[in-house]
Amino acid sequence: MGKFHREWLAATLGAACVLAAACQSDELLERNGTAGLNGSFEITQAGYPVNWAFFPNPEADSTLRVVFDSNQVVEGSHSLKLVVRPSDKLPALRSSQVAVQPGKKYRFRLSFRNEGCSLKVNRIVQDASGKTVRRQDFIIDTSVSSTDWETFEETLSVAQDEAQVLLVIIIAGSGTVWLDNVNFKEKV
């Protein structure tokens, strides 16, 4: 693992506070118990898509601006638009945990568009307690800007000691990132 990746990994697990309950005062999270992953970003509360945690809190820090966007859309009628500017805090967002069953395969899909940023998506697989990371992979790692949407897709085979999946998305630099159509579907 190179220095660059180690730094990003440290950012994922450390500075972004994305997995640590102790840092939740620095993040914004609107919870909705019935909305699930909300990977199409169609369900909002107080102007923010529910069940996604944003760091730093965009209400308190202009590093990260969160927009419920209806102009650039892949699926449904809205996408998530993130406008970032350089800061010593790496803007990040974290999904809720999606339950998966050992021995099954899932198709994971995510559409993104990047203008000017470095975008990294860490797909983390945890045990049932949610306290132990069984594996994590940077499934998207790009600094390429595009005016078109791109779609990432993978098949995730779930091992015996794995029970839930979540995403941590880190955005560096200055620019805009759009996300939409994030979903896990069991492959039959």
61 makes contact with Ca ion (CB under 5 A)? no
Question: What's the min distance (Å) between Cβ of 146 and Ca ion?
Answer: 19
Using the rule CB under 5 A, give the single segment among 19-27, 43-51, 139-147, 175-183 that binds Ca ion: 175-183
95 makes contact with Ca ion (CB under 5 A)? no
Beta-carbon contacts of residue 38 (< 8 Å; ≥ 6 apart): 32, 49, 50, 51, 52, 96
Using the rule CB under 5 A, give the single segment among 6-14, 40-48, 151-159, 162-170 that binds Ca ion: 40-48
Number of residues that bind Ca ion (CB under 5 A): 4
**Pairwise CA distance, residues 66 & 64, whole Å:** 7
Nearer to Ca ion among residue 89 and residue 109 (C-beta): 109
**Pairwise CA distance, residues 179 & 188, whole Å:** 26
Nearer to Ca ion among residue 8 and residue 112 (C-beta): 112
Beta-carbon contacts of residue 27 (< 8 Å; ≥ 6 apart): 17, 18, 53, 54, 55, 56, 57, 94
Query: Would you tell me which residues interact with Ca ion (CB under 5 A)?
Result: 40, 75-76, 180
